[in-house]
Amino acid sequence: MQQGKNNFSKNSNFAQWKEWKISQWWLKQYAALMKHTEDLREWYRIHSRRLHHNFHNMVAGHRMAGPISYLVASSALAIILTLTTLYAPSYMVTINGETVGIVTDDEMVEEAIAAVEQQGTDILGYEYQVEDQIDYQFAISLRTDLSTEKTLENYFYGQLEKLTGEMRKYQVLVDGTVVGVAKDEAAMEELLENLKVRYVSEDTVSSQFLNTVELKPVYQVENIMTMSEMEDALLANKDGSTTYTVVAGDTFNAIAYANDMSVSDLKALNPDVDINRLMVGDILNVKELTPILSIQTTDEVTYTQSIACPVETREDSSMYVGSSKIITQGVEGEEQVEATVTYINGQETAREITSTTVLREPTTTIKAVGTKEKPKTASTGTYRWPVSGRITSYFGSRYIFGSYSYHSGIDISTSYGAAICAADGGTVTYAGYKGSYGNLVIITHDNGTQTYYAHNSSLLVSTGQKVYKGQQIAKAGSTGRSTGTHCHFEVRVNGRSVNPLSYLS
């Protein structure tokens, strides 16, 4: 039931053509209907030209001139009415040579295009235009065969879908912040899965991102990242570089301040660095590593750990207050622990012990503690200066009396007759003249350490006497091998002289 071969492109004078085409069709239908009757054929011959103009009037019920009986005309009318109920003049829509639907009006196609163009523009971010070649071919179609606007839209949406599919990239967002753009959704999903299991061990029961990760379709983008670049970006430190390279003039305090950290925090991040000996070029850790994408894993672990010995104390009146002695050393016990451990980026952040089972009980340590009141002359273990004054000669090698020699103590300059005091409590084990030392006092302290006080003008203690810390034991002088009034002070540990400055407080 289709006639006509005229193709009209989208922008031709469609409306005029349509009107002409419809009148032609009615003319031919009418002629076919009357063919079997001579009268009608004759009528057609005579009136074919006029019919073209008058057809519509007739259908509307206007009286017609001609040799047809009223009966014939009315039955023809009935048939025409039936035909127009079932059939409609229409246009086959052909796009790029492919028939996509049948419409009664080209406006339906234009509306579908407009809707899809709007949608395409919104998605793609630039003005999207349907550029297909659209042809209309006149046809008489069953009304039930007519396309809906939806059918046409679907065709154009299909075209748009194909284009966006080719252009679609995936913007990766972590907590709403764009990290980069990936080309392939499946590869990106795979990378995320791999990152998620990065810290998984055989004990791991769950692993998840602490951040919200989204893949958002985008079009018209440049700077597509490779999966390896994407991985680096996701694992990069959130707050920039985590290290700092020391330059001339830097101090530990200044570096801590510049990085908004306390000195102790900076020290904790750099346990091997001597804060007093920073060298240009040293690399310090200045921040905890906090990747843009953080991964939390939870492990369920079982392990054994020791149980400390309980300690039982026993008073001992033969020992001074403050001193103690282990009488029986206990043996540590052992327990099995089950715990749930949480890690963020592989660093433990929480440990919840879910159960403990004692495998072996510890035995008790028995400790004796002194109760005897400490005498004034007992050693404290720390040493005070025997006299205050300037150090005129330090411990170690020195050049004196025209040659190099080893100085076994320090020389403290003081005035003649000044009080020389015991550095700590102890027993006088020497008090008298001794060669180059001159008048010398030696005090042996409770732990065996000895202190020497030399070159005194006079001595105030005698051998065997107990002295307390700070007690005056002599008067300053310049006896023995001496160049002026001073106190030569020596500390001997296990009989060997050591640097007194390491002991004085």
- Residues forming contacts to Zn ion in the complex (CB under 5 A) are 411, 488
Taking the complex as a whole, how short is the minimal distance between the CB of residue 424 and Zn ion, in angstroms? Answer: 20
Considering the complex, state which of residue 299 and residue 411 has its C-beta at the smaller distance from Zn ion. 411
Q: Alpha helix locations (H) across 270-306? A: none
Taking the complex as a whole, how short is the minimal distance between the CB of residue 404 and Zn ion, in angstroms? Answer: 15
- Rounded Cα distance between 448 and 493, Å, is 7
Tokens of 432: 């008298």
Considering the complex, state which of residue 244 and residue 395 has its C-beta at the smaller distance from Zn ion. 395
- Rounded Cα distance between 436 and 275, Å, is 43
Taking the complex as a whole, how short is the minimal distance between the CB of residue 488 and Zn ion, in angstroms? Answer: 3
Taking the complex as a whole, how short is the minimal distance between the CB of residue 394 and Zn ion, in angstroms? Answer: 10
Contact 420, 453 (CB under 8 A): yes
DSSP secondary structure code for residue 293 in this structure = S
Contact 255, 207 (CB under 8 A): no
Considering the complex, state which of residue 21 and residue 492 has its C-beta at the smaller distance from Zn ion. 492
Burial class (CB in 10 A: 0-12, 13-18, 19+), 443: buried
Taking the complex as a whole, how short is the minimal distance between the CB of residue 407 and Zn ion, in angstroms? Answer: 6
Closest alpha carbon to 228 in 176, 177, 188, 197:
188
Considering the complex, state which of residue 310 and residue 396 has its C-beta at the smaller distance from Zn ion. 396
| Backbone φ, ψ for residue 488 (5° rounding) | -90, 120
Closest alpha carbon to 437 in 405, 479, 475:
479
Contact 1, 25 (CB under 8 A): no
Q: How do 496-498 and 486-493 pair as beta strands?
A: antiparallel
Amino acid residing at 16: Q
Considering the complex, state which of residue 346 and residue 396 has its C-beta at the smaller distance from Zn ion. 396
- Rounded Cα distance between 450 and 413, Å, is 21
Considering the complex, state which of residue 343 and residue 453 has its C-beta at the smaller distance from Zn ion. 453
Considering the complex, state which of residue 445 and residue 488 has its C-beta at the smaller distance from Zn ion. 488
Taking the complex as a whole, how short is the minimal distance between the CB of residue 470 and Zn ion, in angstroms? Answer: 22
Considering the complex, state which of residue 425 and residue 500 has its C-beta at the smaller distance from Zn ion. 500
- Rounded Cα distance between 479 and 490, Å, is 16
Tokens of 442: 């030696």
| Backbone φ, ψ for residue 301 (5° rounding) | -120, 155
Considering the complex, state which of residue 141 and residue 439 has its C-beta at the smaller distance from Zn ion. 439
Cα dihedral 215, 220, 221, 224 sign: positive
Amino acid residing at 173: L
Map tokens 């606007």 to a residue.
149
How large is the angle between the packed helices 14-34 and 38-59, nearest 10 degrees?
A: 140
- Name the residue with the smallest CB distance to Zn ion: 488
